[in-house]
């Protein structure tokens, strides 16, 4: 069964969502992300995806105190954290403040030797390879720049080195509530069947979750669909329970 991972995106310590990564489209959904995380936990979710949007823009971790509070207040959630992880110090701060896994994208695209050092130091169980895709190319630095890296060769390089967890976001779908890039995720799984792929972007309702599950995608991150009332936590929880 597909793993369900609700998301909290942070700006100024508040729970927000963007559309296609555009900061001008920010919408505040809750000023208390700790309360949001505790609600996810109360419905039986085991994972939480946190994105430090201030960090992604600033190129260093920013909202680590919020991470720390969420980890302390919702101990039943395994947290993966991303956004602004550009140095070994950023990585250390994220782990020390409660992240069980950390998503790294830009460094993997621009400083492969450094990323491989982190992989060796922390192991594949604690890192997630962030693959944010626009026009077939990996985007970096909070989606503000396109690299020259094509998606499948980028993934192949690191999966060969032992990486397993991959978070792939189709930027054109993100926050649009128009359905995920299921064919793209199927392409990835066909090329790398052992990849622990996390689909991200575009989930608009339960049919999208069910379709990804039926397509054999291992995990999915979703946020805006919850905050906009397109999916209820009760509905998601009941579906997951029935699947087990």
Which residues does the annotation mark as catalytic?
Answer: 9, 132
Quick one: CA dihedral 27, 32, 33, 37, positive or negative?
negative
How crowded is the C-beta side of 226, counted as CA atoms within 13 Å?
Answer: 26
Three-state DSSP state, 196: strand
State how far the Cα of 125 lies from the Cα of 194, in Å rounded to an integer.
14
Per-position DSSP letters for 51-102, written without gaps between them? EEHHHHHHTS---HHHHHHHHHH-TTSEEEEESS--SHHHHHHHHHTT-SEE
């Amino acid at each position: 069964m597909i793993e369900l991972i609700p998301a909290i995106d942070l700006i100024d310590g508040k729970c927000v969502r963007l559309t296609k990564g555009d900061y001008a489209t920010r919408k505040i959904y809750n000023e208390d992300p700790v309360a949001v995380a505790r609600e996810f936990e109360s419905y039986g979710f085991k994972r939480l995806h946190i994105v430090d949007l201030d960090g992604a823009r600033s190129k260093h971790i920013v909202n680590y105190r919020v991470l720390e509070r969420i980890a302390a207040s919702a101990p039943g959630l395994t947290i993966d954290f991303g956004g602004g992880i550009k140095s070994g110090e950023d990585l250390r701060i994220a782990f020390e403040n409660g992240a069980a896994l950390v998503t790294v994208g830009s460094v993997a695209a621009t400083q492969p030797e450094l990323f491989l050092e982190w992989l060796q130091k922390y192991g594949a169980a604690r890192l997630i390879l962030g693959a944010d895709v626009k026009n077939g190319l990996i985007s970096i630095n909070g989606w503000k720049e396109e690299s020259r890296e094509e998606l499948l060769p980028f993934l192949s390089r690191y999966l060969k080195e032992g990486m397993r967890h991959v978070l792939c976001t189709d930027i054109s779908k993100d926050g649009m509530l128009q359905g995920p890039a299921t064919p793209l995720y199927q392409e990835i799984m066909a090329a790398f069947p052992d990849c622990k792929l996390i689909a991200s972007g575009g989930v608009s309702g339960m049919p999208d979750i069910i379709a990804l599950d039926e397509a054999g995608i291992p995990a999915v991150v979703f946020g805006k669909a919850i905050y906009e009332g397109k999916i209820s936590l009760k509905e998601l929880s009941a579906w997951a329970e029935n699947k087990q």
